[in-house]
């Protein structure tokens, strides 16, 4: 009697040990390769199979792809299986002729199991196990394989979710890197454009140093309101920087100026005087002179006929 109890207790302990190992699969996985390794090891070492093949379902192609095998070389295993052909809906036990067969060569199989790996009703993979020497899988062993399949499916689901998350993070990081690169390129381009714009502005409003305290601003071409405002800003900055006493504005190269531009030039002349410098304007066309009279509002500005006369007068004013 004691011997019978001892045998039952030993069998129970063995069963609990198997169940513990089965339940511990998800604790030790960090990649799908580790899932394959643990699954095939336990299927052969723990559950008495001599051949074990692991397939993973490819959502895009709708096929099961062979990923690992134990007891048979991968070159002797079908690279893919089609679930639509049947036999993958639930666990099936029987002779190899009764099951989906992934083996490309003839093996003396005595028993086999077709084990779909599902999580929340979705097919994630497929496990094919077989025996060459031992007999068929009994009900107890099939029950263990059902529990085993649930644990493997859970571990595979978790691993695939991790891989998807890592892929999304990598894609997000790549997108961020690309965005940063584009921003850096745009910033560099903007800086170059700004430098070019500054160069163009400097060329469009050249302020020349005739003497330590005398500046010359020769204006050529069309002057609109925007350029007139830039002229004012540039001239005032140069006067402040060089402590100029005289600023000559030569407009002999400007044929036409509207009333708004003339008004801005008059305001520029007033601002120059507020900085303590004298404004000399030369090369004024008759039409411009008429506009200046109408907008002078009593403001007096010194003018000369040409640039030569303006330069001579500037030296006298500056005390040279």
Q: Along the 320 residues of the chain, how does pLDDT read in single tens digits?
A: 445 546 566 656 666 667 667 767 767 677 889 889 988 988 888 888 999 999 999 988 999 999 999 999 999 999 999 987 666 777 777 665 667 889 988 888 888 999 999 988 899 999 999 999 888 888 888 888 998 999 899 889 988 888 888 889 998 899 888 988 888 888 888 887 777 666 555 556 788 888 888 999 888 878 888 888 888 888 899 899 989 999 998 888 877 778 888 888 888 888 998 999 999 989 888 887 887 777 766 677 888 988 899 999 999 988 86
pLDDT for residue 247:
93
Q: Which SS3 state, helix, strand or coil, does residue 69 take?
A: strand
Q: Which SS3 state, helix, strand or coil, does residue 247 take?
A: strand
**CA–CA separation, 179 and 188 (whole Å):** 14
pTM above 0.75, yes or no: no
> To the nearest 10°, the Cα dihedral for 273, 275, 278, 280?
-80
| Cβ-proximal residues to 95 (8 Å cutoff; 6+ apart), any chain | 109, 111, 112
pLDDT for residue 300:
79
Evaluate whether 174 touches 168 at the Cβ level (below 8 Å): no
pLDDT for residue 187:
85
pLDDT for residue 210:
86
**CA–CA separation, 38 and 56 (whole Å):** 15
Evaluate whether 105 touches 94 at the Cβ level (below 8 Å): no
pLDDT for residue 213:
87
Evaluate whether 116 touches 126 at the Cβ level (below 8 Å): yes
Q: Domains of the chain by range and CATH?
A: 2-165 (3.30.450.40), 208-318 (3.30.750.24)
| CB-CB neighbours of 71 under 10 Å | 17
pLDDT for residue 200:
57
Sheet-wide strand order for 80-81 = 80-81, 63-70, 51-58, 122-131, 111-119, 92-94
């Amino acid at each position: 009697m004691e011997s019978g109890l001892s045998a039952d207790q030993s069998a129970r302990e063995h069963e609990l040990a198997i169940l513990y190992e089965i339940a511990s699969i998800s604790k030790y996985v960090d990649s799908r390769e580790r899932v394959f390794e643990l699954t095939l090891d336990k299927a052969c070492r723990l559950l008495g199979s001599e051949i074990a093949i692991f397939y993973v379902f490819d959502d895009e192609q709708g096929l099961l792809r062979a990923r690992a095998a134990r007891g048979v070389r991968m070159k002797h295993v079908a690279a893919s299986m089609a679930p639509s052909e049947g036999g993958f809906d639930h666990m099936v036990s029987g002779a190899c002729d009764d099951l989906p067969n992934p083996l490309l060569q003839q093996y003396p199989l005595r028993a086999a199991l077709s084990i779909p790996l599902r999580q929340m009703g979705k097919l994630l993979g497929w496990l094919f196990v077989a025996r060459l020497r031992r007999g068929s899988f009994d009900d107890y062993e099939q029950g263990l394989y059902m529990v085993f399949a649930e644990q493997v499916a859970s571990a595979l689901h978790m691993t695939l979710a991790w891989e998807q998350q890592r892929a999304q993070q990598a894609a997000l990081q790549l997108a961020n890197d690309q965005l940063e690169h584009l921003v850096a390129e745009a910033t560099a381009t903007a800086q170059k454009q700004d430098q070019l714009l500054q160069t163009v502005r400097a060329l469009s409003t050249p302020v020349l140093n005739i003497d330590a305290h005398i500046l010359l601003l020769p204006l050529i071409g069309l002057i609109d309101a925007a350029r007139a405002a830039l002229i004012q800003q540039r001239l005032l900055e140069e006067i402040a920087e060089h402590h100029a006493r005289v600023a000559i504005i030569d407009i002999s190269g400007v044929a036409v100026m509207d009333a708004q531009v003339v008004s801005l030039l008059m305001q520029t002349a007033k601002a120059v005087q507020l900085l303590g410098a004298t404004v000399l304007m030369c090369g004024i066309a008759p039409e411009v002179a008429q506009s200046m009279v109408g907008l002078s509002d009593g403001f007096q500005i010194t003018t000369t006929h040409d640039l030569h006369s303006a330069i001579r007068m500037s030296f006298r004013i500056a005390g040279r």
